[in-house]
Structure 1
Amino acid sequence: MKKIIILSILSSCLLAMTSCNDDLDVQNPNSLTVDQFWQTPEDAQQGVNSIYAMFYKDGTWARWMYFRLDLSSDEGFSKSPWVELADWTRFAYINYDFWEGNNVTWRDNYKAIFRANQVLAYVPDIEFSDENKKQELLGEAKFLRGLYYYYTALLWENIPIILDPSTPSDLPEQATLEEVYAQIETDLIDAFNALPPQWDDANLGRPTKGAAQAVLAKLYMQQHEWEKAGTALEYLIAGEGAHYSLVNNFADNFTSENENNSESVFEIQYGDHNLGGTGETQDAAVSTTRSQFFAPRNIGWSDGQARFWLVDAFKQEKTAEGEIDERLRYSLYYPDLTADFGDLIYGREWEWNDDETWFRKYQRNDRTTEDYFNPINYRLIRYADILLRYAEVLNELDRTSEAYTYVDQVRERSGMRPLAEAYPAIGNDKQAFLERLKIERVLELVGESVRWEDLKRWGDLDTQEAVNEIAERDPDFDNFEVGKHIRMPIPLSDVNNNPNLEQNPGY
């Protein structure tokens, strides 16, 4: 398991591999050059592991990505006393170089891409006794580069495509969103061809063919390429990659128990092996700080909260047994949690305002406080999401009657009645089905960093009328400017230093 892969990553050479100066004979033994390092299969493995290490950095999934994807959506918001931080979740972008809100995520995403580019540039020239192992390593690098480009494009859209190891003097060209999507598709198809269907226990957490198809499906869906998305999803549901199934207990997807289970398509491996910072030192943490920033006041920093409309959404429909949907219990902290389910909040009765709620997924309710070293794996893609996506694709392909069964698989686990029985008026009405599916995705996936891409894909951010509807449940969207805030501003320092970059429209 995950301890093995994390320890493997910790042993990686996280070096700034710079070219050596031919005029100097003296070599620094503490700073290997490109020519010195990329020599052996072990070097190749360490190079790949260094890409995974970027999951533990502030700008990616250790911290700030959740602010971008969860709090900027209508599921969350910030009342942080750090006003500039809160402003970046409510579309009040004034300082385009605000480090925590913008620059560090841009930087760390491109650092991950840089590390992948090194592997893809230098590993092909390394001699392996096992050619299949070499191809798997290259497939991992392609997958991770495609994954990071996907989320970079989701946030900024018009970004540079860099495919070779870069140097500080480079001035990369800006690409259109369509060009970035095309590159991501190429990377993920290459990754699919090279990756194994499954890994052994020592390598759980590395991407599989199924993970590559899952990200391809996300990519195709954002472009409304429904046929391609359907083919990618079918691989995981009924094709050669149908290795996945829903776990019996919904809550098992958000704790340190039962990690890398049958529902996990791709999850980030976290641990509390090191208690250092998020830099490049040997004691650097391999954990996530999300829980520290999203915990209720006096337990964590409470820089991120959930919107209360989510609680109401869960209570609109009872289970087949007439009970409250138990997904609410494991998704949110809210005033009636103890009355509804008997759960305390970090050992406490409710002591916060009655109109407040917080995300519970990935929080550690077995403690009295949070800290920066949460070891719970983050399930970046799980099978329930795949099933709901396939239902959406079938609906878009005018196969609405076929889509019900995939929604029902997700509902059944939580004791909900079949969709057609609960909402018979939907029938085969394509738009009505989509509107209900939007709610089903919230109930299953709230707080899992998918809502922002959902809103973009559905076109709910494209018209003032649609944005006004969102603002009724999330007043931060009163600040949202159609055509502008659907993407973030490119960091001003990059625009100023690179004449090939233009600031995004409206900024």
Structure 2
Amino acid sequence: MKKITSKILILASLILMSSCKKDLLDQDSPNTLTVDQFWKTENDAKRGINAAYAMFYQNGGWNRWIYFRLDLTSDEGWSNSPWTELGDWTRFQYINYNFWEGNVNTYRDTYKAIFRCNQVLTYVPEIPFADEKNRTQILAQAKFLRGFYYYYAAILWENFPIVTTLQKPTDLPARSTLADVWAQVEKDLKEASADLPEQWTGAELGRATKGAAQAMLGKALIQQHKWAEAKTAFDYLVTGAGKGYYDLVAFKDNFRADNENNKESVFEIQFSDANKTGEGDGPSSNMGSNRGQFFAPRSIGWSDGQARNWLVAEFKKEKTLANKIDERLRYTLFYPGLEADFGDKIYGKSWEWNADEAWFKKYSRDYMRNNEDYFSQVNNRVIRYADVLLMYAEVLNELGQTADAYQYVNRVRTRANMAALGTAYPGIGTNKDLFRERLKIERSLELCGESVRWADLKRWGDLDTKAAVDKVALRDPDFKNFVVGKHIRLPLPQNEVDNNTNLEQNPNY
């Protein structure tokens, strides 16, 4: 009986196998769609641009490591991390150009973000849309994000290979110059600005706007000292059609999880603590920021990044109109005298620190909890209106319109209850050089810890000569390691140079 049953089962199986069509066994997985299967509908286009925004949540960028490059490498910050190699990459001691956390991860995620933008720009034009305006705005967002990432590539590596089309793994991108990268940034942001809406509402709030594109364009232009063109870009936000959308709000509201996307926000990254999971690209991956965990004081976070104490002293040099300490200090830095100066206990506790220690307080959550983690929901205000006003003042000064520049600095100082600049420092007058030197301080007081200082130092020429670097080193001894003509830019990851015969390593590396 067993033999008969066995023969019947084998025969039935053979019949079933011969009658099955191949396409029934060869099914597409809905979780791993190919390019041919995706990019078909308007919803696919929306998901594509959302994937480009989602790159903000990757470790190499604004989730974690970018702050080591922009904040800690500048004279505002430093690292006392027990992880020696990590600390070395904030003090210009670059030995292993392939160090993942210091270089390769950020380089890779920058290209990954650009690739996603290129996908949108390649495939979305072929997708049918019920409303053509939606297609136009998606393409404009992709151009903004690509310009955004190339801006930071120019700031960090300078000679960053430009890729604007989809490539195969065997392609070898050509070497680009810094001028090439700036040209691409300008092109993308100008085209984005033309088609982006002036504002988004509802669930779309936080996407790139025309004002964000104009502000990024202005930032790119001032780095090249294209002062007149930069003024035109900033005009939209300060004196032009976009003026009514932007204003200053309470200083502390720019660094907390409440009152986000307010009138001072020009562009901010939308962080969330909804997914307390590991990093990655999945639908439930972490969408928070790790900055607080890595920058928080000892026993609260890893304390891999600290602020330079000269900033505390700078805040205290000038009193407010009420003869008090500049309250921006209260929301900007942790330091030993914080509780005595303002009555604030750090994360609900009193701490004993060395007299010369400080930490960045912006984007911390000490106002709402007693520790940090990898899932901070506090949005990063990448560009806020105070920054735009100070950049506008800088542009006017460089154009010889110093007298007109005062009013924009004073808007920022007035919010902090500080005397008008001309009253506090009458010796400046209309001297362009003196105004520039004071503006450097005004920017550090208003914007320290907001990832703008490295670009500032480069733009001002403070890293171009040994004499200028020596002055910076008085504030930050890490700059004693700085080699003029070399450390103005990061090395390209060596594995990229080795694998691509079209690339050359950056100068002096």
TM-score bucket of the superposed structures, by smaller chain: over 0.9
Specify the alignment match of 2:145 in structure 1: 144
Is 1:262 equivalent to 2:263 in the alignment?
Answer: yes
Specify the alignment match of 1:210 in structure 2: 211
> Distance in 2 between the 1:423 and 1:167 partners?
58
Verify the 8 A CA contact 2:472 2:479 in the aligned structure 1.
Answer: yes
Specify the alignment match of 1:301 in structure 2: 302
> Distance in 1 between the 2:308 and 2:363 partners?
17
Distance apart, 1:201 and its partner CA:
2.1
- Deviation string 1:64-91 (CA, Å, 9 cap, x unpaired) is 0000000000000000000000000000
Verify the 8 A CA contact 2:248 2:385 in the aligned structure 1.
Answer: no
Specify the alignment match of 1:408 in structure 2: 410
> Distance in 1 between the 2:122 and 2:26 partners?
26
Verify the 8 A CA contact 1:243 1:262 in the aligned structure 2.
Answer: no
Specify the alignment match of 1:172 in structure 2: 173
Distance apart, 1:27 and its partner CA:
4.2
Q: TM-score, normalised by structure 1?
A: 0.94
User: What secondary structure is seen at the aligned counterpart in 2 of 1:379?
Assistant: strand
User: What secondary structure is seen at the aligned counterpart in 2 of 1:36?
Assistant: coil
Verify the 8 A CA contact 1:244 1:264 in the aligned structure 2.
Answer: no
Specify the alignment match of 2:20 in structure 1: none
Specify the alignment match of 2:356 in structure 1: 355
> Distance in 2 between the 1:305 and 1:186 partners?
37
User: What secondary structure is seen at the aligned counterpart in 2 of 1:35?
Assistant: coil
> Distance in 1 between the 2:341 and 2:308 partners?
19
Specify the alignment match of 1:184 in structure 2: 185
From 417, 420, 426, give the equivalent of 1:418.
Answer: 420
Specify the alignment match of 1:314 in structure 2: 315
The CA RMSD over aligned residues, in Å, is 1.1
Verify the 8 A CA contact 1:244 1:265 in the aligned structure 2.
Answer: no
| 1:91-490 matched pairs, under 5 angstroms | 91-365=92-366, 366-490=368-492
Verify the 8 A CA contact 1:244 1:383 in the aligned structure 2.
Answer: no
| 1:68-107 matched pairs, under 5 angstroms | 68-107=69-108
Distance apart, 1:28 and its partner CA:
4.3
Which 10-residue stretch deviates more, 229-238 or 301-310?
Answer: 229-238
> Distance in 1 between the 2:156 and 2:391 partners?
21
> Distance in 1 between the 2:86 and 2:479 partners?
16
Distance apart, 1:303 and its partner CA:
0.1
Verify the 8 A CA contact 2:248 2:386 in the aligned structure 1.
Answer: no
Distance apart, 1:485 and its partner CA:
0.1
Distance apart, 1:30 and its partner CA:
3.2
> Distance in 2 between the 1:82 and 1:167 partners?
37
- Deviation string 1:35-71 (CA, Å, 9 cap, x unpaired) is 1101000000000000000000000000000000000
> Distance in 2 between the 1:476 and 1:420 partners?
34
- Deviation string 1:424-459 (CA, Å, 9 cap, x unpaired) is 000001000000000000000000000000000000
Specify the alignment match of 2:18 in structure 1: none
> Distance in 2 between the 1:51 and 1:354 partners?
44
Instruction: Look up the equivalent residue of 1:144 and give its one-letter code.
Output: L
Specify the alignment match of 1:58 in structure 2: 59
Distance apart, 1:25 and its partner CA:
6.8
> Distance in 2 between the 1:248 and 1:372 partners?
28
Verify the 8 A CA contact 1:85 1:100 in the aligned structure 2.
Answer: yes
Verify the 8 A CA contact 1:150 1:181 in the aligned structure 2.
Answer: yes
> Distance in 1 between the 2:437 and 2:376 partners?
35
Distance apart, 1:291 and its partner CA:
0.2
Distance apart, 1:245 and its partner CA:
3.7
- Deviation string 1:378-434 (CA, Å, 9 cap, x unpaired) is 000000000000000000000000000000000000100000000000000100000
Distance apart, 1:26 and its partner CA:
6.1
- Deviation string 1:351-380 (CA, Å, 9 cap, x unpaired) is 221210000000011222111000000000
Instruction: Look up the equivalent residue of 2:193 and give its one-letter code.
Output: F
Distance apart, 1:350 and its partner CA:
2.4
Instruction: Look up the equivalent residue of 2:204 and give its one-letter code.
Output: N
Task: Give unmatched runs, 5+ long, in structure 1.
Answer: 1-23
Equivalenced residue count is 484
> Distance in 1 between the 2:399 and 2:446 partners?
23
Instruction: Look up the equivalent residue of 2:230 and give its one-letter code.
Output: A
> Distance in 2 between the 1:303 and 1:156 partners?
23
Distance apart, 1:175 and its partner CA:
0.7
> Distance in 2 between the 1:78 and 1:244 partners?
38
Verify the 8 A CA contact 2:68 2:90 in the aligned structure 1.
Answer: yes
Distance apart, 1:247 and its partner CA:
3.6
Inter-CA distance 264–113: structure 2 relative to 1 (3 Å threshold): same
Distance apart, 1:276 and its partner CA:
1.1
Verify the 8 A CA contact 2:246 2:266 in the aligned structure 1.
Answer: no
Distance apart, 1:29 and its partner CA:
4.1
Distance apart, 1:129 and its partner CA:
1.3
Instruction: Look up the equivalent residue of 1:273 and give its one-letter code.
Output: A
- Deviation string 1:74-132 (CA, Å, 9 cap, x unpaired) is 00000000000000000000000000000000000000000000000000001111001
Instruction: Look up the equivalent residue of 1:268 and give its one-letter code.
Output: I
Distance apart, 1:260 and its partner CA:
0.2
Task: Give unmatched runs, 5+ long, in structure 2.
Answer: 1-24
Verify the 8 A CA contact 1:237 1:244 in the aligned structure 2.
Answer: no
Specify the alignment match of 1:36 in structure 2: 37
Distance apart, 1:244 and its partner CA:
3.7
| 1:5-20 matched pairs, under 5 angstroms | none
Pick the structure with greater CA Rg: 2
Distance apart, 1:34 and its partner CA:
1.1
Instruction: Look up the equivalent residue of 1:391 and give its one-letter code.
Output: A
Distance apart, 1:248 and its partner CA:
3.7
Is 1:501 equivalent to 2:503 in the alignment?
Answer: yes
**Percentage of identical aligned residues:** 62
Instruction: Look up the equivalent residue of 1:386 and give its one-letter code.
Output: V
> Distance in 1 between the 2:408 and 2:351 partners?
37
